[in-house]
Amino acid sequence: MHVQTPYMTEDRSMLQRNGMSAADLAGVTWRKSRRSGQLGNCVEAAVLDSGDVAVRNSRHPSGPALIFARDEMAAFLAGARDGDFDDLAC
């Protein structure tokens, strides 16, 4: 009898969930903003096979990843462009 780990489905594909280790998202290409500094204090994002978007802290690449649906990420980015979060950078 095969016992599944929390991250594997029956067909051995990866289950993706919020808070999982970013290291468990094997094969994804992480990228960061060109505006990020060289001190490693940036957020990185990757598109998953499911079409969702994973986000991680570049200082902790094996730390938790947050996973968002494309429409959630689009709403966040639109809000950032509109200045909805400008007060957080002060």
- The pLDDT tens digits for 46-58 are 999 889 999 999 8
2 close to 41: Cβ distance less than 8 angstroms: no
Would 14 be classed as within a structural domain?
no
Position 11 scores a pLDDT of 41
**Domain span including residue 34:** 22-89
- pTM given for the model: 0.76
Would 15 be classed as within a structural domain?
no
State yes or no: pLDDT of 89 exceeds 80.
yes
Q: How far apart, in whole angstroms, are the C-alpha atoms of residue 74 and residue 77?
A: 5
Mean pLDDT computed over 16-39: 85
Would 4 be classed as within a structural domain?
no
Would 39 be classed as within a structural domain?
yes
Structural domain count of the chain: 1
Give residue-wise pLDDT tens across range 31-85: 988 877 777 678 999 999 889 999 999 889 899 999 999 999 999 999 999 999 9
Position 40 scores a pLDDT of 67
Would 9 be classed as within a structural domain?
no
Would 30 be classed as within a structural domain?
yes
